[in-house]
């Protein structure tokens, strides 16, 4: 696998939208426009790492209120109860709803944590030289991270559906809590962080 050449080393870049290979102009400050789709061509996404770091740190900060504050307030026959993400999962477990507990635990706790950890891992390791096998694993990790992120929206949607449906006056009502807002922001920020990360950077430090 020594005959593999990166487009960047040949002064070429691939359009992120239509995949057209374009020759980079010599003063690299000039913004290149793709001749096929008209989009901007980047050899590497500009400020990819700084942007990913910023979005990741913001999402980590918001992850705290997302877990501390209640995501949902429920009134049932006058009795009020409010649940955080974690206490919601515990409640499902107590009621014996193993499947629901598993779905919510995966979507709301495992997926966001996994996403933040793997982005952190990729950001820390991106400047270290690595062998091809390791770079391939990191690329695969990135691919999975990008793919699963949207599934953490499950909890936000469930809260919305319950808020819309359970408005039965004196019998039972559901209100969204401030934690839901923070959690929604975490989902959006981690998705943006994953999009800002340029996986081609992983290969720039490859050992031959």
Partner 1 sequence: MLMACRECDVLQRVPWVPVGKKVRCRGCGATLYHHPRGGLDRPIALLFGALVLYVLANIFPLVTLDIGGATRETSLVGTAWALYNHDMKLLGMLVFLTSLAVPGAILFSTLYVLAGLRLQRSLPGLRQMLALLSHIHPWEMADVFVISILVALVKMSGMAEVIVGAGLYALIGYILLGIAASASIDVFVLWRRMERIDRFPRGQLSLEAGR
| CA gap 41, 36 in Å, rounded | 11
* CB closer to Zn ion, 1 vs 26: 1
Report the chain's terminal Cα–Cα distance, integer Å.
9
| CA gap 94, 51 in Å, rounded | 42
* CB closer to Zn ion, 17 vs 171: 17
153 binds, among partner 1, Zn ion, none (CB under 5 to 8 A by kind): partner 1
* CB closer to Zn ion, 32 vs 195: 32
- Residue 172 pairs in a beta bridge with 76
65 binds, among partner 1, Zn ion, none (CB under 5 to 8 A by kind): none
Structure tokens at 163: 């808020």
CB of 139 to Zn ion, least distance (A): 7
| CA gap 184, 150 in Å, rounded | 11
Residue ranges binding partner 1 (CB under 8 A): 1, 4-8, 10, 12-14, 16-21, 36-39, 76, 95, 97, 99-100, 103-104, 132, 135-136, 139, 142-143, 146, 149-151, 153-169, 171-172, 175-176, 180-181, 184, 188, 191, 195, 199-200, 202-203
Burial status of residue 197 (CB atoms within 10 A of its CB: 0-12, 13-18, 19 or more) = buried
Q: Which residues contact 112 (CB under 8 A, 6 or more apart)?
A: 63, 152, 186, 187, 190
* CB closer to Zn ion, 8 vs 73: 8
Number of residues that bind Zn ion (CB under 5 A): 8
CB of 193 to partner 1, least distance (A): 12
Structure tokens at 127: 């400047």
When asked if residue 15 is in the footprint of Zn ion (CB under 5 A), the reply is: yes
- Contacts to Zn ion from residues 16-55, by CB under 5 A: 17-18, 20, 34, 36-37, 39
Structure tokens at 138: 């990191």
Residues that bind Zn ion (CB under 5 A): 15, 17-18, 20, 34, 36-37, 39
């Amino acid at each position: 696998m020594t005959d593999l050449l990166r487009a960047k080393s040949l002064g070429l870049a691939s359009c992120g939208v239509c995949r057209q290979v374009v020759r980079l102009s010599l003063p690299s400050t000039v913004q290149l426009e793709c001749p096929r789709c008209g989009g901007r061509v980047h050899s590497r996404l500009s400020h990819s790492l700084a942007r990913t770091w910023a979005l990741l740190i913001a999402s980590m900060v918001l992850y705290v209120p997302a877990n501390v504050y209640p995501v949902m307030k429920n009134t049932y026959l006058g009795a009020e109860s409010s649940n955080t993400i974690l206490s919601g999962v515990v409640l499902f477990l107590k009621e014996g709803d193993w499947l629901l507990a598993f779905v919510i635990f995966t979507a709301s706790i495992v997926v966001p944590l996994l996403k933040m950890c793997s982005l952190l891992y990729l950001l820390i390791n991106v400047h270290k030289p690595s062998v091809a096998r390791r770079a391939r694993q990191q690329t695969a990790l990135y691919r999975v991270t990008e793919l699963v992120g949207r599934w953490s929206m499950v909890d936000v949607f469930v809260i919305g559906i319950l808020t819309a449906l359970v408005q039965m006056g004196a019998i039972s009502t559901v209100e969204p809590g401030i934690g839901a807002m923070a959690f929604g922001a975490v989902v959006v920020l981690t998705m943006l962080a994953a999009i800002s990360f340029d996986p081609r950077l992983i290969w720039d430090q490859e050992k031959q």
